Structure 1
Amino acid sequence: MTNNLVKINVLFFGACREIVGANEIDFILPENASITTVFTKLKEKYPALEKLGGRLLFAINETYATKEQVLVAGDKLAIFPPVSGGGEDIEKPDIYLLTHKPINSRELALQVIGSKDGAVVTFDGITRDNNKGKPVLFLQYEAYEPMAIKMMKEIAEDARSRWSIDKIALVHRLGRVDISQTSVAIVVTSAHRKPAFEACHFLIDRLKQVVPIWKREYFEDGAIWVDPELQ
């Protein structure tokens, strides 16, 4: 159905433009498609993009973006190699994201690791198959989304003020999450392992305390909203 599709404009620069043979093209995508979806389709049509894949940068509407970010109708997605200049690293952004798509924490870590980092700590919170012995079929998450992103950023800045760390990624699933799937992923990078471990522990604890995300557990005989005060 056409109302489930969105149209975006993709811009190419440098070596990307030469491979594609165009400055820009329009793309029709399903709703909630991410940059990864676009780039996968582009690589199928222009295989030479694969050799640039790990180095390419992305921007949505003139703001640097990560591959997990979802595109909406009218977006301008720019794809380009690292900018010309000195040997300094491109500053990678922190990641704060709510998503209905499966989370790949390894790919998430690769998006924030920089050359100055000597440690990366990754936490995956996954869906277990029982609650106090009662079989769980799946989970359902919902959030007050604008406030959740705001609070993710606040607790990240709090962590950064306490420990000498570099980049942070906080990603949480929404909607249905099946058994053994990741519901929340946290990545912390730093020059040394101790601050990364401690900051990661702090972040998951604070996320569960203050970020407005709610979990509903589904069983064979019904479902309940999880209340931490009753656990």
Structure 2
Amino acid sequence: MNPIIQLTREPLKRDELVAAVSDPTVGGIVVFEGVVRNHARGKQVRYLEYEVYEEMAYPQIQQIIQEASKRWGVDRIAVAHRFGRLEIGEASVIIVVASPHRAEAFEACRYIIDTLKTTVPIWKKEVATDGEAWVEG
């Protein structure tokens, strides 16, 4: 299966992503959903703004997925990340990994989110009650 990669301003659709990677050969589906919370680093967060350099982000996410597939033998993967303004409680990122066994799905999902946050050109600005700041993913 070709991986699913979405970079969008639209709300993410977890159920559609899960359905897209589901298959009768799958015994475990792991979903990581990152949501906007109302606080960070001791501040009251009002909302977040994400920016993405799509021309670089897309191929980098493809590379991360390829590495996860190679390491854990999983090929049913979906990665979706929003950009623009996100309100408290909205999903900013959803990663879905389906595999015959749960261990591989958990490991691959963790690798994808951890690597995405440290390498892909997606930036986050926290808008708090006392100001705003760009922060590391």
Q: Secondary structure at the match of 1:116?
A: coil
Quote how far apart the aligned CAs of 1:220 are: 2.0
Q: Name the stretch that deviates more: 102-111 or 196-205.
A: 102-111
1:145 aligned to which of 40, 54, 61: 54
Q: Percent identity?
A: 45
Unaligned stretches of 5+ residues in structure 1: 1-91
The residue number in structure 1 matching 2:25 is: 116
Q: Partners of 1:165 and 1:194 in 2: how far apart?
A: 11
1:129 aligns with 2:38: yes
Unaligned stretches of 5+ residues in structure 2: none
Quote how far apart the aligned CAs of 1:219 are: 1.3
1:175 aligns with 2:103: no
Amino acid at match of 2:84: G
The residue number in structure 2 matching 1:212 is: 121
Structure 1's consecutive aligned runs of 4 or more residues displaced over 6 angstroms after TM superposition are none
The residue number in structure 1 matching 2:13 is: 104
What is the root-mean-square deviation in Å for CA atoms of aligned residues? Answer: 1.1
Structure with greater proportional strand content:
2
The structure whose RCO (Cα within 8 Å, separation 6+) is larger is: 2
List per-residue Cα deviations over 1:48-72 (Å, max 9, x = no partner).
xxxxxxxxxxxxxxxxxxxxxxxxx
List per-residue Cα deviations over 1:107-144 (Å, max 9, x = no partner).
21101212211111000001110012310000000011
Structure ID, larger Rg:
1
Amino acid at match of 1:98: L
**Number of corresponding residues:** 137
Amino acid at match of 2:134: W
Residues 125 and 184 in structure 1, CA contact (< 8 A), matched pair in contact too: yes
1:158 aligned to which of 41, 57, 67: 67
TM-score (norm 1): 0.57
Residues 117 and 166 in structure 1, CA contact (< 8 A), matched pair in contact too: no
Quote how far apart the aligned CAs of 1:106 are: 2.1
Q: Secondary structure at the match of 1:153?
A: helix
The residue number in structure 2 matching 1:71 is: none
TM-score (norm 2): 0.95
Q: Partners of 1:122 and 1:131 in 2: how far apart?
A: 23
Q: Secondary structure at the match of 2:29?
A: strand
